[in-house]
Amino acid sequence: MKFKTEQEEFWSGNFGNEYAQRNSSDQLLASNISLFSQILSHTTGVNSVLEIGANIGMNLLALKKLLPDSKYTAIEINKSACEVLSQQSWINVINNSALRVSDVQKHSFVLTKGVLIHISPEELSSLYRTIYDSSSRYICLIEYYNPNPVEIPYRGFSNKLFKRDFAGDMLDNFSDLKLVNYGFAYHRDNNFPQDDLNWFLMEKI
């Protein structure tokens, strides 16, 4: 598979394989269930979920516990992660870059978690459009937040992690989106630690 950005090459290769191995644990699943139960408490009628950048499915596994009757689709660039995802027969797996997919079926809840931060800033607008077009109702972004765009070192690599106000971008770009709620998950939470992530739930009106 040929990609247009260095970030896509990075995550499709060995680093993406190693990431999958690091980010799988019962504690992470428990933390995800806690996080998504908070977020979903502000929604109604979610019957289909699309995760863009699903990795091995730790977020979808948590959502399945909370929404057992929903339909689930995952877009994931890393082939090894997709092989793990495909072991869950209830997940429709699309092995592709989020920057290359188009005409994705609409889902009532579209999610990214720690994905937009790794997208080339020049490609964000097209990905925002994909996220928006793929949602029939809710959009949930769970990412590192910064009021202004900034690039920071990531595990010894440069040009691989970017912080900004992703939700603000989407609210500015799509006039029929409204902010429903937002929150923060702290790495020192006593029971359900996350990676200092901000979450933003938006809805089409």
Mean pLDDT of 147-152: 96
**Number of C-beta neighbours around residue 94 at 10 A:** 20
In a domain? residue 33? yes
In a domain? residue 1? no
In a domain? residue 128? yes
pLDDT in tens, 91-115: 999 999 999 987 789 999 999 999 9
Instruction: Identify the domain containing residue 133 by its residue range.
Output: 6-204
User: How many domains, the chain?
Assistant: 1
Residue 31 maps to which CATH number?
A: 3.40.50.150
In a domain? residue 96? yes
Q: Which burial class, exposed, middle or buried, applies to 21 when counting CB atoms under 10 A from its CB (0-12, 13-18, 19+)?
A: exposed
Question: What is the value of pTM for the model shown?
Answer: 0.94
pLDDT in tens, 17-74: 777 667 778 999 999 999 999 999 999 999 999 999 999 999 999 999 999 999 999 9
3-state secondary structure of 148: coil
In whole angstroms, give the CA distance from residue 42 to residue 64.
Answer: 17
pLDDT in tens, 153-173: 988 888 899 999 999 999 999
In a domain? residue 166? yes
Strands (E), the chain: 48-52, 71-76, 91-95, 107-113, 135-143, 150-151, 162-163, 177-185, 197-204
In a domain? residue 161? yes
